[in-house]
Structure 1
Amino acid sequence: MYLWIKAFHLIAVVTWFAALFYLPRLFVYHATARDHGDRQAIDYFQVMERKLYRGIMLPSMIVALILGIWLLALVPGFMSQGWMHAKLALVVALVGYHHVCLAYMKKLAAGNCDKSHTFFRWFNEAPVVALLGIVILVVVKPF
């Protein structure tokens, strides 16, 4: 049973990261369209952002978290290992990032987001750092 849960956890995590990578990229395009006054493109990006967030990003985060908690319940010894504490800290940061994405999505939709496309290009890099850390922690278990 453990391996099945782990497999579906990994699938949910991959799906969540795909959305975490793509939504801020849509923000880049949205901010660029806003700066050019392209109302049609803005409307299009709002729909894409909303569908990505509601249809993929939020459900995959919930499934990844539920399955991750289930895995920890099956192997509680992981909670005594430093690498798991570091991994969970990165997961908490990702959940925060996820909610910041929601806030930016709402601000962009309301037309009151003052962040530039350059800001969103840099903002888009945060999940990459988290992914690198999480994979290294889980595979190498450095401490």
Structure 2
Amino acid sequence: MAYFWVKTFHILLVTSWFAGLFYLPRIYVNMAQPHDAPTQQVLTNMAHRLYRFMLPLAVLSVGTGLALFLHFGIGKGMGWIHAKIALVVGLVIYHWYCGRILQHFKAGLNQRSHVYFRWFNEIPVLMLLLVLILVVFKPF
């Protein structure tokens, strides 16, 4: 029974984390476009609050995923789980990099265009697709 609770919370937490990973770079698209100071400050505050909200979701997502792998043995001995773990590490790095970008915006140091952030926004979509393919099909 515990397995199903952990799995349920893992799916809920991952879904919530991804909502933030999809939305935060979209805020960066808007922040990279010229705005007056009050609008820029509102966008910066939105991004900051969202990033702070996403951090515990990321930690709990990874924690419940590790519990499924280490305690319940999901995927042990199968190659797909190692590929999934590698993608999750990539998502954690992406999340961390989003925080670095936010620091640059706060300091007024952003050098990237809104077009860059439009492409940057697609990375978590592709990574989610790859993770879902691995989890559903377990190709190796």
Map residues 10-89 of structure 1 onto 2, 5 A cutoff. Answer: 10-32=11-33, 36-55=34-53, 57-76=54-73, 78-89=75-86
TM-score (ref. length: structure 2): 0.96
The alpha carbon displacement at 1:79 in A equals 2.8
SS of the aligned residue for 1:95 comes to helix
Give, as a single letter, the amino acid of the residue that structure 1 aligns with 2:40. Answer: I
Q: 1:121 to 1:89 in 2, by over 3 A?
A: same
Asked if the contact 2:20/2:51 (under 8 Å) is kept, the reply is yes
- Alignment partner of 1:117 is 2:114: yes
C-alpha distance in structure 1 between counterparts of 2:57 and 2:38, whole Å: 29
Higher normalized helix content (fraction of residues)? 1
- Structure 1 stretches of at least 4 aligned residues deviating more than 3 Å after TM superposition: none
The alpha carbon displacement at 1:77 in A equals 5.8
The alpha carbon displacement at 1:38 in A equals 1.4
Task: Tell me the number of residue pairs that the alignment of Structure 1 and Structure 2 aligns.
Answer: 139
Q: 1:116 to 1:75 in 2, by over 3 A?
A: same
C-alpha distance in structure 2 between counterparts of 1:77 and 1:11, whole Å: 18
C-alpha distance in structure 1 between counterparts of 2:97 and 2:58, whole Å: 14
Give, as a single letter, the amino acid of the residue that structure 2 aligns with 1:70. Answer: A
Hey, what does 1:131 align to over in structure 2?
A: 128
Q: 1:5 to 1:38 in 2, by over 3 A?
A: same
